[in-house]
Amino acid sequence: MGQFRGETMQYKCITKVNADRSDVFEWFERRGSFRRLMPPWEIAEEVRSDETLQNGAKRIFRFPLGPVKMTWVAEHLGYQPPEKFEDVMVKGPFKSWHHKHHFENMGGGQCHVIDDVEYKLPMGLLGKLVAGRSIKKRLDRMFRARSQRLIRDMGQHEIHRDKSRKRILIAGASGLIGKQLVAFLDTGGHDIWRLVRHNPNPKNQEIFWNPKDEILNPKLIEGFDVVIHLGGAGIGDKRWSRSRMKIIESSRIESTTLLAKTLANLSNKPELFMVASAIGWYGNRGDEILTEESESGTGYLPGVCAAWESSAAAAKNAGIRTIHLRTGVVLDATGGALSKMLLPAKLGAGGPIGRGRQWLSWISMDDEVYAIHHLLMTLDTEGVYNIVSPNPIKQKQFAKELGRVLRRPAFIPTPPFGVWLLFGKMGIALTTESQRVTPNRLLDSGYKFQHENLDGALRDTLGMW
């Protein structure tokens, strides 16, 4: 809710969480909470983050505001765990911003998180008149998204509360999925380390490697409980030239082979090796229902995925529990396939591609992260898992659903030839091939989806309730 008092504007949001106040406050104290609380449609770059909420700690991040990037500098104060903490804007788009976070114990394992915000807009009363209503709507969307993420994340961590925390090494931590996975696992109390290709910063728990030159110091990766590999050149980032196709394949096979062989020869091996894969493994299969038992398809992507999965064999043969994550189209407004669809969809040109009869197997970003966490913490899981929603949808219907959420028409078709002109072979393979994939083994393992249906997933992802 929002209120006005002179130039000062007030906003208040109350979130009921099924967790003890001290546990919720501890969740906020983890560094990953910033990423998890950022609305999923906002592109934010964290520049600096002190490892505490105590008085004087600062957080600096950049975010797009129209055509420019805005820097926000926040300083913490009022630190009284587990009752409250506050932050004020030192630099940013508002004239002033003061955000108080209160945590009230409600008993019975429940608490209220109360967000009280007082802010002033530039240009005083004129600024309020011009932008006050739009800012209020933006805050409504932001705090609804924050509340949902907090409730869901705490619920997922609660499921595995009685299990020991893990020491986890992640390759591909800076990718679209990796950023959210690292943040989620961090807020759950796991000890997260990253494999990086730049000069490592020990304060950020980074370890250097260079798969192309087969550089990885085995002494530095002894003693991890779990190793997760999400890396590889982006399949949909650029047109598929011959050189690009070689990079896509080699970046996956070389890195997975190096990791698998290194892990296999360790004295203190990890209990689990998780490796990203993709439903591209199945190829173009029309209306056929595809499970983890289905055979591989033919063509470039199935060949890449088959070689990718095979390159983890050394770890599996050494007795390390190995999981292959065959992921579908991950819905995220800040990157990946959905982000490319948004501009034409908002312009009313987001209709079906071709006849739109091809199947699209999708998954929300939260379900992607939660499914990985579920498999990680469920000790009897092993082998191949399709990481997709239980309800794949035809591309024509996907375009219609996206248009309805955005309140835009979605009937103008895009001919495959147009896709080829814009994106080449990559565009044709990723938009016109049909894969009707179901997550049978994931469901059998006990995982419960947050977003089984597309409408709810798109509305949460885009903040369009």
Output the six-digit token pair for 160: 């595995």
Residue 416 confidence (pLDDT): 65
In this prediction, residues 329-354 reach a mean pLDDT of 87
* Confidence label for 422 from pLDDT (cuts 50, 70 and 90): low
**Residue in the structure block whose two tokens are 């599996």:** 316
Q: State the residue range of the domain holding 255.
A: 167-462
* One-letter identity of residue 215: I
321 plus 397 within the same structural domain? yes
In this prediction, residues 108-119 reach a mean pLDDT of 96
155 plus 173 within the same structural domain? no
Examine the pLDDT at 430 and tell me if it is beyond 90.
Answer: no
Considering only 48-52, 55-59, 215-219, 303-307, which range has the smallest mean pLDDT? Answer: 48-52
Residue 2 confidence (pLDDT): 46
128 plus 194 within the same structural domain? no
- Give the CATH number, domain containing residue 17: 3.30.530.20
Does residue 124 or residue 448 have the better pLDDT?
448
Examine the pLDDT at 428 and tell me if it is beyond 90.
Answer: no
Considering only 52-56, 130-134, 155-159, 303-307, which range has the smallest mean pLDDT? Answer: 130-134
* Confidence label for 429 from pLDDT (cuts 50, 70 and 90): low
Residue 298 confidence (pLDDT): 93
Output the six-digit token pair for 48: 């600096």
- Average pLDDT over all residues of the chain: 92
Distances (CA, A) of 155 to 147, 232, 379: 12, 31, 19
Considering only 136-145, 197-206, 268-277, 339-348, which range has the smallest mean pLDDT? Answer: 339-348
| Tens of pLDDT, residues 140-198 | 999 999 999 999 999 999 999 999 999 999 999 999 999 999 999 999 999 999 999 99
Residue 418 confidence (pLDDT): 58
Considering only 90-99, 310-319, 412-421, which range has the smallest mean pLDDT? Answer: 412-421
- How far the first Cα of the chain sits from its last, in Å, is 16
- Give the CATH number, domain containing residue 210: 3.40.50.720
191 plus 275 within the same structural domain? yes
255 plus 391 within the same structural domain? yes
312 plus 409 within the same structural domain? yes
Examine the pLDDT at 4 and tell me if it is beyond 50.
Answer: no
303 plus 248 within the same structural domain? yes
Residue 423 confidence (pLDDT): 59
Q: How many whole angstroms separate alpha carbon 151 and alpha carbon 155?
A: 6
275 plus 309 within the same structural domain? yes
| Tens of pLDDT, residues 238-295 | 777 788 888 888 889 999 999 999 999 999 999 999 999 999 999 999 999 999 999 9
Overall domain count for the chain: 2
Domain boundary among 116, 134, 159: 159
6 plus 27 within the same structural domain? yes
Examine the pLDDT at 419 and tell me if it is beyond 80.
Answer: no
- C-beta of residue 257 within 8 angstroms of C-beta of residue 213: no
Q: What is the 3-state secondary structure (H, E, C) of the chain?
A: CEEEECCEEEEEEEEEECCCHHHHHHHHHCCCHHHHHCCCCCCCEEEEECCCCCCCCEEEEEEEECCEEEEEEEEEEEEECCCEEEEEEEECCCCEEEEEEEEEEEECCEEEEEEEEEEECCCHHHHHHHHHHHHHHHHHHHHHHHHHHHHHHHHHHHHCCCCCCCEEEEECCCCHHHHHHHHHHHHCCCEEEEEECCCCCHHHCEEEEEHHHCEECHHHHCCCCEEEECCCCCCCCCCCCHHHHHHHHHHHHHHHHHHHHHHHCCCCCCCEEEEEEEHHHHCCCCCCEECCCCCCCCCHHHHHHHHHHHCCHHHHHCCCEEEEEEECEEECCCCHHHHHHHHHHHCCCCCCECCCCCEECEEEHHHHHHHHHHHHHCCCCCEEEEECCCCCEEHHHHHHHHHHHHCCCCCCCECHHHHHHHHHHHHHHHHHCCCEECCHHHHHCCCCCCCCCHHHHHHHHHCCC
| Tens of pLDDT, residues 227-237 | 999 988 777 77
Calculate helix-pair angle for 21-29, 124-159, nearest 10 degrees.
Answer: 110
Does residue 383 or residue 339 have the better pLDDT?
383
Q: How many whole angstroms separate alpha carbon 109 and alpha carbon 20?
A: 5
Residues in the chain: 465
Domain boundary among 107, 142, 159: 159
440 plus 346 within the same structural domain? yes
Examine the pLDDT at 420 and tell me if it is beyond 50.
Answer: yes
| Tens of pLDDT, residues 62-83 | 988 777 889 999 999 999 999 9
* Confidence label for 85 from pLDDT (cuts 50, 70 and 90): very high
In this prediction, residues 412-424 reach a mean pLDDT of 63
- C-beta of residue 333 within 8 angstroms of C-beta of residue 41: yes
Q: C-alpha angle 218/221/227, rounded to 5°?
A: 125
194 plus 147 within the same structural domain? no
Residue 7 confidence (pLDDT): 78
Domain boundary among 121, 138, 159: 159
- C-beta of residue 153 within 8 angstroms of C-beta of residue 28: no
Considering only 117-126, 184-193, 440-449, which range has the smallest mean pLDDT? Answer: 117-126
105 plus 201 within the same structural domain? no
Q: 252 — alpha (psi -120 to 50), left (phi > 0) or beta? A: alpha
